[in-house]
């Protein structure tokens, strides 16, 4: 069995998860997906982890499902619905539901599940040379891992069908212009910029970030009335947190806030 296909590295206040099958363009195997889910689930309950970075080794970010794991010639074909329900869908849900901010640093091609796992993260930084490909239709599949949900919401319904059906390369620049990702940076700056982002998230208010993520997760499906009510509910809670007291004290004393580092 392959070892260390997902490397966990602890930093001060944040966790780095590195996809590590560079020779296979970090395509995803069952053990790798299981490790990834376990890492995100454990981090969700770990107070010392205040933010998570997902990055990758080698020239690609992730080429999606490892197609060499899939038989296509006999009745042993894998039930892909089953594969999604068992491994991919729980991982997408974990990325969305964990209260920690998740940054994804896309260093190269992100194809199929690789593209949509990136889009499921909260903040996506991409290197200038990175590309996103909804490769599914090229092999007779549909956009999974939330692709059919994320694309119309991020890029708009006018673009979603073309992105999914044509499976063309979307450059990092275009992805940023279309609102699919946060920012494009020079290739050689990706590591430094993503680390800086993680340090800044680790120093920010964990309780505010968790509540913000909760609000953004449901915003697209709520009416304005529902969302305003939810904001009032979350702000009611936020107003009683130590982070709010510290934030206001720091503002008044003209210093940087020291949010709970527990």
What's the distance, CA 174 to chain centroid? 19
Nearer to ligand T3D, 162 or 250 (CB): 162
Give least dist CB 108 to ligand T3D, A: 8
| H or E stretch covering 184 | strand 183-185
Give least dist CB 84 to ligand T3D, A: 6
Instruction: Identify whether the C-beta of residue 136 lies closer than 8 Å to the C-beta of residue 143.
Output: yes
Give least dist CB 16 to ligand T3D, A: 23
CA–CA dist 106, 124 (Å, integer): 7
Instruction: Identify whether the C-beta of residue 92 lies closer than 8 Å to the C-beta of residue 122.
Output: no
Give least dist CB 105 to ligand T3D, A: 17
Give least dist CB 169 to ligand T3D, A: 8
Please report, as ranges, the residues that interact with ligand T3D according to CB under 6 A: 24-25, 27, 63-68, 70, 80, 83-84, 88, 109, 111-113, 133, 135-136, 139, 141, 144
Give least dist CB 154 to ligand T3D, A: 18
| H or E stretch covering 171 | strand 170-171
CA–CA dist 166, 168 (Å, integer): 5
Nearer to ligand T3D, 8 or 24 (CB): 24
Nearer to ligand T3D, 63 or 104 (CB): 63
Nearer to ligand T3D, 60 or 181 (CB): 60
215-224 burial: b if 16+ Cβ within 10 Å, else e: eeeeeeeeee
What's the distance, CA 22 to chain centroid? 19
Nearer to ligand T3D, 141 or 203 (CB): 141
Interacting residues of 92 by C-beta distance below 8 A, sequence separation 6+: 116, 117, 120, 145, 146
Instruction: Identify whether the C-beta of residue 212 lies closer than 8 Å to the C-beta of residue 100.
Output: no
Nearer to ligand T3D, 84 or 191 (CB): 84
CA distance to 13, 121, 123, 212, per residue, from 261 (Å): 8, 23, 22, 19
Nearer to ligand T3D, 130 or 180 (CB): 130
Give least dist CB 66 to ligand T3D, A: 4
Task: Provide the token pair at 87.
Answer: 């491994």
Instruction: Identify whether the C-beta of residue 117 lies closer than 8 Å to the C-beta of residue 95.
Output: yes
């Amino acid at each position: 069995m392959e070892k260390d296909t997902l490397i966990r590295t602890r930093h001060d206040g944040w966790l780095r998860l590195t996809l590590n099958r560079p020779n296979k363009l970090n395509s995803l195997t069952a053990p790798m997906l299981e490790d990834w889910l376990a890492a995100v689930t454990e981090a969700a309950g770990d107070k010392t982890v205040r933010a998570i970075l997902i990055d990758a080794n080698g020239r690609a970010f992730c080429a999606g499902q490892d197609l060499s794991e899939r038989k296509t010639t006999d009745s042993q074909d894998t039930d892909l619905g089953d594969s999604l329900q068992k491994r991919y869908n729980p991982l997408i849900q974990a990325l969305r539901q964990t209260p920690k901010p998740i940054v994804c640093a896309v260093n190269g091609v992100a194809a199929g599940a690789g593209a949509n796992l990136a889009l499921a993260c909260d903040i996506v930084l991409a290197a200038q040379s990175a590309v996103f490909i909804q490769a599914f239709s090229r092999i007779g599949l549909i956009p999974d891992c939330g692709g059919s949900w994320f694309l119309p919401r991020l890029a708009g319904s006018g673009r979603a069908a073309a992105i999914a059906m044509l499976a063309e390369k979307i450059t990092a620049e275009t992805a940023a212009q279309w609102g699919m990702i946060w920012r494009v940076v020079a290739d050689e700056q990706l590591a430094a910029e993503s680390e800086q982002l993680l340090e800044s998230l680790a120093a920010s208010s964990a309780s505010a970030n968790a509540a913000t993520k909760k609000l953004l997760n449901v915003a697209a499906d709520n009416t304005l009335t529902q969302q305003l009510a939810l904001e009032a509910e979350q702000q009611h809670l936020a107003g009683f947190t130590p982070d709010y007291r510290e934030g206001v004290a720091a503002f008044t004393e003209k210093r940087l806030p020291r949010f709970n580092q527990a």
